[in-house]
Structures are given as structure tokens and as C-alpha cells.
Amino acid sequence: MHSTQLENIIKYRIVVGYLGEKEQFAWWTSSFFSSGSQVFLAPIFSKTQFLAQCHGVTRAALAVHDERIGTGHVYHLFRLPEDMEQDIHKRLHEPGLAQEIVSLLDSKEAALAFLQQEAGTTIRPDVGPVRIGTIAALRDPKIWRTVAARYALAFAQKSELFPYFSDVS
């Protein structure tokens, strides 16, 4: 997978994870990126706090997505094929990327603006689980812009949306 595409997927994952937390849109009950979480996480994860936050919010979002979409023969922003998950884990250790992501999480408005900017396309509003494409489309950079657009619109309309990829309709 192309490096830039993987970076975009990582940014989408963390930004959507942040926006879904209870202080923003409350799609899941976690608060890994709240100001209070730093006090809690710093003593335990002094050198890897950002990684812990990313992992925590990913797990929280994963649970909700899996509950709404189901598991087995489906992928979504928080559950990707193993090779992609391993690449994401490696890339999150890069300080430059971490700094870029942290800057996107300055505020709810900044995170939403990022998703809207990335969207670059007009889509119709949907609610709940929405099939975006086949599993083969997971590696298509254009489809990820559609994913960003769908999340951006759902957050803006204060409705929950769970885009996924599956070969089963």
C-alpha cells in the first residue's frame, strides 16, 4: 500500500475515533483524547502516551462498529486486514506522523474541518451500517475519501454512520 494512502487511513482512524468519543459526538463512551486522560495515562505510558490513546480509541470504536455492522467477512476503518493493521502500528511510532495527527485533534471543529477537507465529494446522507464497497476496494485511495465524506456528513448531521467493506451484499 502506498505510504501516503496509509497515512490518510491512520489520520481518518484517529480523527474519527476522537470525534466519536463522549466529549465530542458520543458514538462510544471512551475519553482517551480528553484533557483528563493525560493525567491518567502519563504515569503508566510516559513514553508511549499517544500510542496508548490511539490504541484505546481504536478499540472503543472497533467495539461499536462491530456491534452495529457485525463481524466476519467485513472490514471497516477500525478493523482492517492484518497486513494493513501491522503497517498502521509501525507508522504510528513515527514522531512526525504523531505530531500531524495531534494537531488535527486541537478541537472538535478542527477535526471536522479535516474530514470535510479530505472528503472532496458530495454524498447522500445515510444512517447506520452502510456498505461502501468490496474488500478489494480497501486499497483504493478514492474510496477512502468517500469514507471520510460519509463520516464528516454523519458527524455534521449528528447521526451515527458505520461504513464498511464486504463481498457479501
C-beta atoms surrounding 79 within 10 Å: 18
* Domain enclosing residue 154, as ranges: 3-166
Residue 127: predicted pLDDT:
85
**Per-residue burial over 37-69, b = 16 or more CB atoms within 10 Å of its CB, e = otherwise:** beeebeeebeeebbebbbebbbebbbebbbeeb
Residue 58: predicted pLDDT:
96
Total domain count, the chain:
1
Q: What average pLDDT values come out for the chain (169 residues) when binned by 10 residues?
A: 86 97 94 72 64 92 96 94 94 89 93 90 81 92 92 94 89
Of the candidates 99, 115, 93, the one whose C-alpha atom is nearest the C-alpha of residue 20 is 115
Of the candidates 20, 91, 105, 107, the one whose C-alpha atom is nearest the C-alpha of residue 60 is 20
pTM: 0.91
Residue 161: predicted pLDDT:
94
Residue 45: predicted pLDDT:
56
Residue 41: predicted pLDDT:
56
Residue 124: predicted pLDDT:
76
